[in-house]
Amino acid sequence: MATVSALSYYPVKGCAGVSVQSMDVMATGPRHDRVFLFVSPDGTFRCQRRTPRLALVRPEVVHDGTKLTLSAPGHPDVTVDVRTDGPRRPVSVWAWDGIAVDQGDDAAEWASAVLGEPVRLTRAAPDHERATDDAHGPVHFADSTALHLTELSSLDDLNARILERGGEAVPMARFRPNIVATGFAPFGEDDLRTARVGGAELRYVKPDVRCQVTMVDQDRGERDGPEPIRTLATFRRDPDGGVTFGIKLAVATPGTIAVGDEIEIVGSAAVRES
């Protein structure tokens, strides 16, 4: 029986996650997940691919979402009043262009000092609309889908291979999942197609093709390659290019998910193909 081992959400895209015992999952993903976005002065989103120091920023949504606290080593914390609406600014995430709500000078000045480059903090606007694909469902500022799931036994398998090659094991945080599962065989999560978890029903979208963010040390905010990409390339190549670890999910039915919940498989690749 597979169960939920850990849960996390990421208030600001590219920044550290928040570990929780339960979370409300909506059509767009976990509540408060990737609702905020750092952008350069021209509105281009910042991520760890280009700005690995984002990993040092630890955001926390407090007071029922009315305030956002930002912390980072060596810098005083800053708490900002969340602007759910107000001054708008053009932003872009990959091929998507839209408008987001600017969160003010205090957050911008703090983050610019931490990251060493000029940035503004923005939030999804009340009329935010973004879908990376009709089949994936709506998202805020996540790359492509509402949820990302990884499996502990898959990480154990990967790390055993990394150690065999003389590398150092990597922690699950490198993969920045929303849901960490346990109880599947290594990479058995690949076969999941539909699952009930707590009060939610989740639907498989695609394997998660990994990028250089997995080579960023999440505690130091620095690139620390070549693992795990080097070893994943020896046995997890995707036919369409890149290497995969974990799966991406859409939300078929919103609900609450908690650590310890059973991952009840409703549909699998084996059932679908039989």
Per-residue pLDDT band for 63 (boundaries 50, 70, 90) equals: very high
User: What is the structure's pLDDT at 134?
Assistant: 63
Residue 270 has pLDDT above 70, yes or no: no
User: What is the structure's pLDDT at 137?
Assistant: 85
HEC sequence for the chain: CCEEEEEEECCECCCCCEEECEEEEECCEECCCCCEEEECCCCEECCCCCCHHHHHCEEEEECCCCEEEEEECCEEEEEEECCCCCCEEEEEECCEEEEEEECCHHHHHHHHHHHCCCCEEEEECCCCCCECCCCCCECCCCCCCCEEEEEHHHHHHHHHHHHHCCCCCCCHHHHCCCEEEECCCCCHHHHEEEEEECCEEEEEEEEEEECHHHHEECCCCEECCCCCHHHHCCCCECCCCCEEEEEEEEEEECEEEECCCEEEEEEEHHHHHC
Residue-wise pLDDT for 201-256, tens only, equals: 999 999 999 999 999 999 999 999 899 999 999 999 999 999 999 999 999 999 99
Q: What are the domain boundaries of the chain?
A: 3-14+19-26+135-273, 35-124
Mean pLDDT of the chain: 95
Domain 3-14+19-26+135-273 has CATH 3.30.70: no
Per-residue pLDDT band for 132 (boundaries 50, 70, 90) equals: confident
